[in-house]
Amino acid sequence: MISRRAALLAVLLAVGAVPADAETPRLDPAPRAARVEPEEVPVGSGDTDVRVDGRYFTESVRVLVNGVPVSADVLGPTQLRARLPSALLAAAGRLDLRVVDGERKAADAVAVVVTVANPAPRLDVIEVPALSVGDPEGSIKLIGKAFRPDSAVQVAGKTVVTVFRSPEELTATVPADLLAAPGTLTVRVVTPGPGGGASLSGWITVTDPVFPGRFVVFTSNRRRGKNHVYLLDRRGNRLDPLPEANSPAGNDAYPSISADGRFIAFQSDRSQGQYDVFLFDREKRTLDPLPEANHPTAFDGFPALSADGRFIVFESDRLGKPKIFLFDLRTRTLSELEEANETSADDGLAAISN
């Protein structure tokens, strides 16, 4: 295909406007950018100079960054210096830098890329009020370094509503669904790229507030006339029939519960009609038959559990008359409370403080 310039020259020659032996006009080679240094500039920087290496740079070239003309000084045919204005460095992203001359389209020029990079965030302190199970939401303050307006707080891996206060401070809202159960939640700050990244994690704690008289344990014979132990959680009025604790064929009764509602001590005649003391762990849903405490042939019953769930006092007739015994669940040791028991009397129905 004949170029437009060659066609024009042919017409001029035909009409005699140009001597036949005249040289064909020739454009200088197009400027070409090959490399830029630095390739990465921190977001929020002031006016920044970059060096561009390439070929065919002349005094007539222009430098365009994302299509915007910027100030440039030609240092030689293969090098120039361009100034990136702060307005182009205010947000993280990619800047396309092109070197062009006055006669060619900018879109035809090869681009070199300058990356405007976010800094990596650093989390130093989390200021948090008391967070309790059932709260509608909670607000936390994060203190650190290099926070950006597009930084986000993640709690337990979930991105939550975040407000940028300054490069040293963010606030975040912990939603109700993360406050539904007690425990420890990880917190970190994540800044998107280019650059950016995640901070080291911190932790916040969700506690289960004191609910006076929250748990009620009782005995009921509602199932085929057999006695069984039930628990009512007054927060939410949820009834737990304790199927892992109760015996299908035996009688389970006289329950006692720890202050946090986790442990329940009770007596049961599931062992061939002989009463023994058992301990149920509601958190693990496991039953402990307490072999170190119970006697193989005697009555053991009417247990009382200390508020912290460590000790059980109960009544046993293993010495011929009812006497009071204490079992330490931590050390798995049994003691007769000799100072409390009277040799000739019946002693039982004990209770114990925390």
Phi and psi at residue 88, in whole multiples of 5°? -80, -10
Looking at 147, 182, 207, the residue that finishes a domain is 207
pLDDT of residue 235: 83
**Region 237-248: what's the mean pLDDT?**
96
pLDDT in tens, 8-34: 445 444 545 445 454 545 557 889 999
- In a domain? residue 138: yes
pLDDT of residue 8: 47
Q: What is the CATH number of the domain that holds 64?
A: 2.60.40.10
* Pair (228, 195) in one structural domain: no
How much is the pLDDT for 272? Answer: 87
| 95 shares its domain with 191 | no
Residue 354 lies in a domain: no
Look at residue 220 and tell me if it is in a domain: yes
Same domain, yes or no: 242 and 166: no
Q: Are residues 269 and 321 in the same domain?
A: yes
Higher pLDDT, 277 or 60: 277
Looking at residue 19, its pLDDT comes to 52
Between 108 and 320, whose confidence is greater?
Answer: 320
* Residues 148, 226 within the same domain: no
Check pLDDT > 50 for residue 306. yes
User: 174 and 112 in one domain?
Assistant: no
Pick the last residue of a domain from 117, 146, 161: 117
Q: Give the distance from CA 183 to its chain's centroid.
A: 12
Is residue 352, in this structure, part of any structural domain at all? no
- CATH classification of the domain holding 321: 2.120.10.30
Q: What is the end-to-end Cα distance of the chain in Å, rounded?
A: 100
Q: What is the pLDDT of residue 209?
A: 82
Q: Give pLDDT, residue 12.
A: 44
For residue 333, give the nearest of 271, 287, 291, 296 by alpha carbon: 291
- The residue-averaged pLDDT of 131-158 equals 94
Query: What token pair was written down for 3?
Result: 């170029």
In a domain, 348, yes or no: no
The predicted structure's pLDDT at residue 9: 44
Q: How many domains does the chain have?
A: 3
- For residues 303 and 325, what is the distance between their CA atoms, to the nearest angstrom? 10
Q: What is the pLDDT of residue 223?
A: 87
Q: Is the pLDDT of residue 3 over 70?
A: no
User: Is the confidence at residue 199, as pLDDT, over 90?
Assistant: yes
Closest C-alpha to 207, from 134, 262, 126:
134
pLDDT the model gives residue 236: 81
Average of pLDDT values for 64-75?
A: 94
**Is pLDDT above 90 for 354?**
no
pLDDT, position 106: 67
Secondary structure of residue 12 in the 3-state scheme: helix
Using the 3D structure, point to which of 101, 117, 133 is the last residue of a domain: 117
Does residue 251 share a domain with residue 302? yes
For residue 273, being part of any structural domain is answered with yes
Residue 293 has pLDDT above 80, yes or no: yes
Question: Same domain for 113 and 126?
Answer: no
> Do residues 223 and 131 both lie within one domain?
no
Tell me the C-alpha distance between 149 and 162, whole Å. Answer: 9
Does 80 have pLDDT greater than 80? Answer: yes
Look up the domain containing 324 and give its range: 215-336
- The stretch 64-86 carries a mean pLDDT of 95
Q: Do residue 234 and residue 307 come from a single domain?
A: yes
Name, in order, each residue with C-beta under 8 angstroms of 193's C-beta and a sequence gap of 6 or more. Answer: 92, 117, 118
Note whether residue 347 is domain-resident.
no
Q: Is residue 252 part of a domain?
A: yes
List the Cα angle 102/104/106 in 5-degree steps.
Answer: 95
Torsions phi, psi for 208 (to 5 deg): -95, 110
Residue 306 and residue 220 in one domain: yes
Q: What is the pLDDT of residue 208?
A: 84
Sheet holding 48-55, edge to edge: 32-37, 48-55, 79-84, 72-76
**112 and 127 co-located in one domain:** no
Question: In which order are the strands placed within the sheet that holds 323-328?
Answer: 300-305, 311-316, 323-328, 333-336
Answer whether 0.85 is exceeded by the pTM. no
Average pLDDT over residues 244-254: 96
Question: What's the average model confidence in pLDDT over 294-305?
Answer: 97
Q: Give the Cα separation of 334 and 256 in Å (integer).
A: 18
